[in-house]
Amino acid sequence: MSGIILYSSAIILLVISFLKDREKTKVALKKAWKSFESILPQILTVMVIVGALLAVLDTQTISRLLGSQSRWMGVVLAAVAGSIAIIPPYVAFPMAALLLREGAGYMQMGAFVSTLMMVGIVTMPVEIKYFGKRLTLLRNVFAFMFSFLVAAAIGLVVG
């Protein structure tokens, strides 16, 4: 769905740009290719690692880890699992809902969803390429710690 929107917007903008100025459009496409090509090795690496990781660490394994844990230990495990996993939201939210029904707590799911979206250990090579090691590491560490705050707030309000 978002792919269709993205592609149609890109094509429409490209056509408008081409009609207005051919040379500029050529430069734009050259730049697009150059920046895509420069990030390609990292992207491909991430793709393969995600495949290997998720094949080993599947939904059942995650739910077993988070199903029946003591409160904070479960939150820590959930936060770690979310940091490593890359699961698109349309899979992750129903999965979290399922885990809740199977006995996982709201706090654990809060931590899981939060690190899943904010922390990306596997995508770090891509992030480092743009932002350097230091900022990438700091951002992910902060996002990880922040997720415990989110977990606590959700435990307070929902759990």
Partner 1 sequence: MKVLIKKYMGFLMAVAAVGIIMVLSTKTGLKALGIMAGTFKEMLMLLPPVFVMLGLLDVWVPRETMVKYMGEGSGIKGIVLSILIGSAAAGPLYGAFPVAAVFMKKGAKFSNILIFLGAWSTTKIPTLMFEIASLGPAFALTRLAINIPGIIIIAHLLIKLMPKKEIERIRENSYEIL
Q: Tell me which residues in 100-139 interact with partner 1 (CB under 8 A).
A: 100, 106, 109-110, 113-114, 117-118, 120, 123, 125-127, 129-132, 134-135, 138-139
Residue 45 interacts with partner 1 (CB under 8 A)? yes
Residue 74 interacts with partner 1 (CB under 8 A)? no
Token pair recorded at residue 38: 């420069």
| Minimum gap (Å) between residue 38 Cβ and partner 1 | 6
Residue 63 interacts with partner 1 (CB under 8 A)? no
Q: How many residues does the chain have?
A: 159
Binding-site member from 22, 61, 64, 89 for partner 1 (CB under 8 A): 89
How far apart, in whole angstroms, are the C-alpha atoms of residue 138 and residue 140?
Answer: 5
Residue 15 interacts with partner 1 (CB under 8 A)? no
Binding-site member from 39, 64, 71, 103 for partner 1 (CB under 8 A): 39
CB neighbourhood size of 41 (10 A) = 12
Token pair recorded at residue 87: 């699961």
| Minimum gap (Å) between residue 110 Cβ and partner 1 | 7
Write down the residue that tokens 């759990």 correspond to.
159
Q: Which stretch binds partner 1 (CB under 8 A): 44-52, 62-70, 76-84?
A: 44-52
Q: How far is CA 32 from the centre of its chain?
A: 23
How far apart, in whole angstroms, are the C-alpha atoms of residue 127 and residue 131?
Answer: 6
